[in-house]
């Protein structure tokens, strides 16, 4: 049976060109960039070359790029930086949204225990933060606004440029978790007035365990990892050279081919939405149009997402019920609940996240398989009949 991989919001296949760049680093340019000898200095050149290329992809300056172990670390460092820098000036209020990634939400939980006031904005039924809510929430003592560029479970894209302009005008630091957006939709830190931004390589066909924190010149980063003077003293530890160079290659490829890939992938996405539209009592979660090219999320009433995933997997289809971080727990996703979807309905969720490696043929197989599996699960569901009769189920 052929594997059909449509869980690209969880992680992506490494691209061949990124792999080639990584092999070269591991086998030939294996020096430590802090070493003074020539093989160390060649590594140092590769590191700075990767930094410049990454910076160009988001229209930043190379000295505003810090390499991290991934999106989670970048989120942690950005948020802690803005919080502690703000606290020094008596600012302890932080604005975010209810459906951020846990790397953001759990960092905010920690800060709340330390005495910060955290305000999480509503994302409404369409899964989009309202700019006027951000405007109304900003206060004299607001240290940070952190809103994700695109949501990882439902794929909705947030009004980042408008929020950036607002934060600039009100002189509040603005961070965005752009992990799902980079390489998929255009992101320009100047044009969007972004002060800090998080990137993760494995969401655009780069390697796992590496990412970027962009931090605008003038903002002094707080260290999370202490030790040597790497990353201009702001992130200790010998640089993950192969991954950094592989990430730069994958990011360049993704950004250079963004328009054609987005066009192709969104056509596949729209075909899935259309192909599933005749399934009774289903809903497409999040705004129909303001969404990532590759991500769709459905709820099918009367069934459990876990059963759906296992049966799709038997057809070779690798999908997700939401976020990889919450699978394994039986709690419905905080993202779907934040959008006002009832608990019983949120249990029957399915996320399909496509990439340019997927084909039209695969999409047709997926549509057929979803129809088959949903009607089978409903045929054995103890609540399906009640739901069809319009009765309330919990």
Tell whether residue 294 is a contact of ligand PLP (CB under 6 A). Answer: no
**Of 48-56, 70-78, 261-269, 342-350: span binding ligand PLP (CB under 6 A):** 70-78
Q: What's the min distance (Å) between Cβ of 180 and ligand PLP?
A: 5
| Cα 223 from Cα 236, distance rounded (Å) | 8
Whether 325 is catalytic: yes
Phi-psi region of 269 (alpha: psi -120 to 50; beta: other; left: phi over 0): alpha
**Of 157-165, 172-180, 213-221, 347-355: span binding ligand PLP (CB under 6 A):** 172-180
Nearer to ligand PLP, 145 or 345 (CB): 145
Nearer to ligand PLP, 73 or 252 (CB): 73
- Maximum alpha-carbon separation in the chain: 76
Tell whether residue 97 is a contact of ligand PLP (CB under 6 A). Answer: no
One symbol per residue from 100 to 139: x for binding ligand PLP (CB under 6 A), - otherwise; what is it? -x-x------------------------------------
361, containing H or E segment = helix 360-379
Nearest to 297 by CA among 268, 317, 267, 321: 321
Cα 254 to Cα 60, 205, 206, 247: the distances in Å are 17, 8, 10, 10
Tell whether residue 334 is a contact of ligand PLP (CB under 6 A). Answer: no
Q: What's the min distance (Å) between Cβ of 349 and ligand PLP?
A: 16
Q: Using alpha carbons only, how large is the chain's radius of gyration in Å?
A: 22
Tell whether residue 72 is a contact of ligand PLP (CB under 6 A). Answer: yes
Tell whether residue 206 is a contact of ligand PLP (CB under 6 A). Answer: no
Q: Exactly one of 177, 252, 356, 362 binds ligand PLP (CB under 6 A); which one?
A: 177
Q: Exactly one of 31, 33, 71, 127 binds ligand PLP (CB under 6 A); which one?
A: 71
- How many Cα neighbours within 13 Å face the side chain of 47? 24
Tell whether residue 152 is a contact of ligand PLP (CB under 6 A). Answer: yes
Nearest to 369 by CA among 293, 314, 296: 314
One symbol per residue from 13 to 32: x for binding ligand PLP (CB under 6 A), - otherwise; what is it? --------------------
Nearest to 151 by CA among 82, 96, 189, 190: 96
Q: What's the min distance (Å) between Cβ of 68 and ligand PLP?
A: 8
| Cα 237 from Cα 209, distance rounded (Å) | 14
- Cβ atoms of 1 and 349 within 8 Å: the answer is no
Q: Which of 57, 167, 276, 325 is catalytic?
A: 325
Tell whether residue 200 is a contact of ligand PLP (CB under 6 A). Answer: yes
Q: What's the min distance (Å) between Cβ of 85 and ligand PLP?
A: 22
* Token pair in block for residue 297: 């999320």
Q: Give the binding-site size for ligand PLP (rule: CB under 6 A).
A: 14
Nearer to ligand PLP, 152 or 358 (CB): 152
Nearer to ligand PLP, 77 or 193 (CB): 77
**Of 65-73, 137-145, 155-163, 328-336: span binding ligand PLP (CB under 6 A):** 65-73
Q: What's the min distance (Å) between Cβ of 200 and ligand PLP?
A: 3
Classify residue 141 by burial, with Cβ atoms within 10 Å: 0-12, 13-18, 19+.
middle
**Of 64-72, 242-250, 311-319, 353-361: span binding ligand PLP (CB under 6 A):** 64-72
Supply angle C-alpha 250, 256, 257, rounded to 5. Answer: 90
Residue 167's contacts (CB-CB under 8 Å, 6 or more residues apart) are: 134, 138, 145, 173, 174, 193, 195
Tell whether residue 154 is a contact of ligand PLP (CB under 6 A). Answer: no
Tell whether residue 246 is a contact of ligand PLP (CB under 6 A). Answer: no
Nearer to ligand PLP, 7 or 362 (CB): 7
| Cα 254 from Cα 100, distance rounded (Å) | 24
- Cβ atoms of 344 and 307 within 8 Å: the answer is no
Tell whether residue 160 is a contact of ligand PLP (CB under 6 A). Answer: no
| Cα 139 from Cα 158, distance rounded (Å) | 21
> Mind telling me the catalytic residues?
325
Q: Which residues bind ligand PLP (CB under 6 A)?
A: 70-72, 75, 101, 103, 148, 152, 177, 179-180, 200, 203, 211
């Amino acid at each position: 049976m052929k594997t059909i991989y449509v869980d690209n919001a969880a992680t992506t296949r490494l691209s061949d060109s990124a792999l080639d760049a990584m092999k070269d680093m591991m086998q030939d340019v294996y020096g430590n960039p802090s070493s003074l000898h020539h093989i160390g200095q060649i590594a140092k050149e590769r590191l700075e070359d990767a930094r410049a290329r990454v910076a160009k992809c988001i229209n930043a300056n190379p000295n505003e790029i810090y390499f991290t172990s991934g999106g989670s670390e970048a989120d942690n460092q950005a948020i802690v930086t803005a919080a502690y820098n703000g606290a020094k000036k008596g600012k302890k209020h932080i604005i975010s949204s209810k459906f951020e990634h846990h790397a953001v939400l759990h960092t905010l939980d920690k800060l709340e225990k330390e005495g910060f006031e955290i305000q999480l904005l509503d994302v409404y039924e369409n899964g989009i933060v309202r700019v006027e809510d951000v405007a109304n929430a900003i206060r004299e003592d607001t240290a940070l606004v952190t809103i994700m560029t695109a949501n990882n479970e439902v794929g909705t894209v947030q009004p980042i440029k408008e929020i950036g302009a607002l934060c600039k005008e009100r002189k509040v630091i603005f961070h965005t978790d752009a992990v799902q957006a980079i390489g998929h939709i255009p992101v320009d830190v100047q044009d969007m007035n972004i002060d800090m931004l998080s990137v993760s390589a494995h969401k655009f066909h780069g390697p796992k365990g590496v990412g970027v924190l962009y931090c605008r010149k003038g903002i002094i980063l707080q260290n999370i990892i202490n030790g040597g003077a790497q990353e201009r003293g702001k992130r200790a530890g010998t640089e993950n050279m192969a991954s950094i160079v592989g990430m730069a290659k994958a990011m360049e490829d993704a950004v250079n081919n963004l328009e054609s890939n987005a066009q192709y992938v969104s056509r596949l996405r729209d075909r899935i939405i259309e192909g599933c539209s005749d399934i009774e009592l289903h809903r497409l979660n999040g705004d129909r149009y303001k969404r990532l090219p590759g991500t769709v999320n459905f709820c099918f009433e009367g069934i459990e997402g876990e059963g759906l995933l296992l049966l799709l997997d038997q057809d070779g289809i690798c999908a997700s019920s939401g976020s990889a971080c919450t699978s394994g727990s039986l709690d419905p996703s905080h993202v779907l609940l934040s959008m006002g979807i009832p608990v019983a309905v949120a249990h029957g969720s399915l996320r399909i996240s496509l990439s340019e490696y997927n084909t039209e043929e695969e999409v047709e197989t997926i549509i057929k398989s979803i129809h088959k599996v949903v009607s089978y699960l409903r045929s054995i569901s103890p609540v399906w009949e009640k739901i069809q009769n319009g009765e309330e189920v919990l």
